[in-house]
């Protein structure tokens, strides 16, 4: 059988398997009502305040500065430089909005893609709808929990692992927190970018469900995708994203630089994020700040 026909047959089989398994996920109506667009960000309250920008491997974008050559305009000979940007916003340290991923065409709060996805961007749940996130951050050193300095691609972080890390490191996840997982994977970006971007350690579905049960606002990690790649079942892709984003309105933060926090032994901090409010985008390049 020719290669192309073989490829099409394999893809068709994968689609059929996915459809047969599709009924296992139920997209709920938001607990904040059918009009809700910000999900777990509703958990951000004043009470929560009591307490590097690495570039990913697939950063193919075009950036231009205008004008060139130091041209001047006006009698006062003003010189200026502006940016023209044309590229993917899912690079570097980034945020996934609730419009980023769904289940069988249905996204957070039972919104159908055909009703809010347009050529010019999304009309619901875009990053411009997300309020500033200022809340308690919890850093869990999952590499240390497993007795390593660096986890490897395909290595699973389970709900039990996260629970054990809390006990061992003397912290407790609370409602409205932002949870950041340190796997030690980020240095791979600088030594082997291809390997960094083709697989990584991360949470499985059970861990996503566990974190969702704790009613957190966001889950992040020092990897490109937070959840484990390759997945335990190669026919079920990014299920943890479905649990967090689609099922519970919990944001995902990717490629977070956790190195200094781990070196300093930081476990809790004030997490501050004011993401760029570009209308209709489903992801954003971010620069979160940890205040200790």
pLDDT in tens, 233-259: 999 999 999 999 999 999 999 999 999
Q: Which of 1-10, 64-73, 194-203 has the lowest mean pLDDT?
A: 1-10
CA 90, 116, 205, 45 dihedral sign is positive
Residues 130, 52, 229, 29, Cα dihedral to 10°: -10
Q: How many CA atoms lie within 13 A of 150 on its CB side?
A: 12
Token couple for 90: 């899912």
pLDDT in tens, 87-140: 889 999 999 999 999 999 999 999 999 999 999 999 999 999 999 999 999 999
Where do the domains of the chain lie, and which CATH numbers do they carry?
Answer: 23-58+88-291 (3.50.30.50)
Residue indicated by tokens 């509703």:
42
| Angle formed by the axes of helices 205-213 and 159-169, nearest 10° | 50
| Res 10 pLDDT > 70 | no
Token couple for 276: 């760029």
- Other C-beta atoms within 10 Å of 287: how many? 13
Write down the pTM of the prediction.
Answer: 0.85
The C-alpha atoms of residue 117 and residue 243 are separated, in whole angstroms, by 21
Token couple for 205: 């579905």
Confidence category of residue 156, pLDDT binned at 50, 70, 90: very high
Instruction: State mean pLDDT over 36-41.
Output: 94
pLDDT on residue 45: 83
pLDDT in tens, 162-182: 999 999 999 999 999 999 999
> Could you tell me which of 93, 111, 278 has the C-alpha nearest to residue 186?
93
Instruction: State mean pLDDT over 180-203.
Output: 97
pLDDT on residue 17: 43
């Amino acid at each position: 059988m020719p290669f192309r026909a073989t490829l099409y047959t394999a893809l068709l089989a994968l689609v059929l398997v996915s459809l047969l398994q599709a009924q296992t996920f139920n997209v709920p109506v938001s607990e904040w009502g059918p009009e809700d667009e910000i999900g777990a960000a509703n958990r951000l309250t004043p009470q929560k305040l009591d307490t590097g920008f690495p570039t990913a491997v697939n950063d193919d974008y075009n950036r231009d500065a205008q004008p060139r050559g130091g041209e001047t305009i006006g009698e006062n000979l003003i010189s200026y430089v502006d940016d023209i940007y044309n590229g993917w916003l899912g690079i570097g340290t980034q945020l996934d909005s609730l419009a980023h991923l769904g289940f069988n065409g249905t996204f957070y709060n039972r919104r159908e893609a055909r009703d809010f996805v347009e050529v010019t961007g999304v009309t619901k749940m875009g990053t411009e709808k997300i309020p500033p996130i200022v809340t308690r951050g919890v850093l869990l050193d999952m590499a240390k929990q497993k007795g390593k300095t660096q986890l490897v691609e395909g290595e699973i972080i389970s709900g039990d692992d996260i629970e054990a890390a809390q006990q061992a490191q003397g912290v407790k996840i609370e409602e409205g927190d932002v949870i950041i997982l340190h796997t030690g994977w980020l240095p791979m970006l600088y030594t082997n970018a291809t390997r960094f971007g083709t697989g990584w350690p991360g949470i499985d579905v059970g861990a996503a469900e566990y974190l969702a049960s704790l009613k957190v606002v966001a889950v992040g990690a020092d990897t490109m995708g937070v959840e484990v790649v390759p997945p335990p079942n190669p026919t079920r892709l990014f299920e943890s994203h479905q649990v967090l984003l689609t099922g519970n309105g919990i944001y995902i933060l990717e490629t977070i630089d956790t190195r200094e926090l781990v070196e300093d032994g930081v476990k809790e901090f004030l997490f501050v994020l004011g993401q760029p409010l570009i209308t209709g985008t489903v992801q954003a390049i971010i620069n979160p700040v940890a205040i200790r």
